[in-house]
Structure 1
């Protein structure tokens, strides 16, 4: 396995520190690194709530409805995915995101 990134500098990289804060560094073409701010895509807009990371459900939707956790057998995961279910790697469970009709997922509800 190679330790070089699959893209050319300059690029920004983040590191999570022991206290949980994130430190951003800009890696330049000569290999030097300079502390910098987060890229625009990584920063939420002022006044908005941070977006949940892909694959991780928000605890509830903005309308107050909770997400629906599913018990999907591995053999049926593609079908659940096509219907709109999402995978939560922390819980290791499939779920129905808020705002998606849960009726088609009735056979997998707990």
Structure 2
């Protein structure tokens, strides 16, 4: 959940910079967020693969192309930044729904 929160924060920062700042000035923020998102998304993929959580894993995998598109210095950088944010919200909502259904994740260790 910490990696997911970090991805949400990075996507939000990139989205804010893409929308609120002028084009040449926002590149420092958006490119930095994109590079960090690539690294954190790789960790999230590993964390979602074992134990297998299908929806969060799919969202983590789809975050990588969004981060790569965010690296491209195009005028529409807000689109992949918004994609990162939406994917993290979907992953968290799916995990919460699965927990409420009672079938998600391994059993907690004794004492937890």
TM-score past 0.5 threshold? no
More helix per residue? 2
More strand per residue? 1
TM bucket (normalised to shorter chain) is under 0.3
| TM-score, normalised relative to structure 1 | 0.25
Structure possessing the higher radius of gyration over alpha carbons = 1
